[in-house]
A and B are shown apart, each in its own frame.
Chain A
């Protein structure tokens, strides 16, 4: 019984391996690692919420072929990214690059954090000043 259960569990757990989208293996492990990283960086332009690495779509297959060929041709990661952005726009990058257009996206959180910190600090200081002022008269009232 237990053995049947374990076999069944293994079968279920291993099932996704049979559905692996991308069978690519490059000769050089370093290239393979870069290939895997880059294809996970690019957005599938057809399915939009998947990466090029995970998508079974035709365009993604062509884009993987493109990345493979460019890697084997000795292109750098940035050259491959630029190639994709030139054709599909910044949208193809899951992690947008820092640029003048989206600068506020990166800066706004820190600006808000600093502004919030300053406001909180001033409120705390004001209140502690009030407490210091009120200290003595209140004590006298109570004593009396």
Chain B
């Protein structure tokens, strides 16, 4: 900071302020503190004059702080005069003169217990509403499925194949990788602990049972939900925003039949297939973990 933004001098009952430098946004914080301090130091002063002749730069922040200062003094029944403000900055000050006249009501401070209860109540109501929406969606899918079964020719096979490619085929590499690693980890950990009892061979059973009965399907299901479920949400959400779904509806198509039914049917077919592939990868991973070679 090269120069002082505001200097003051008390002449009897008159506070004389001299402004200089940049009364702009980057200096607003400093300036605000300075104004508060200077005016607070002279409680006895009746009138104030602010000499703006030394100000090089002046923007709305500076103009508002000046306006606020004069407003404060006038409100207290004292006189505030602004001197030496350059011609081209007067418009700005005049503009600021008109604003903030009706202060906006501060947001209501609520009792935290009441607002907590309100949030809980809203959450419960939302849950109920979501349940209804979900039931509505299930019903719509069921209806669409019924219609398709009655008129199988109208089913969208192309869309189904495309979705199958996305959800099943393109998901194979990542599912292979993750389940392979999981299988390997189970096998390695199993051998590590069973060795204490001389029962390393049982880690084979551990891997087979755990993968085929429990983990295999769970891991794959979670991965499909995370990978495909979220991409569906984003895709259909953006279609809704761009009014594509409304367009479908006005052209006489049922969006559930066109968009949702193929995706759900594809998921129903893809999940068991992916689970099988994933389980095989996990078994292979179990068999090829370093520990199992030694055993």
Binding between chains A and B:
no
Query: Which A residues contact B (CB, under 8 angstroms)?
Result: none
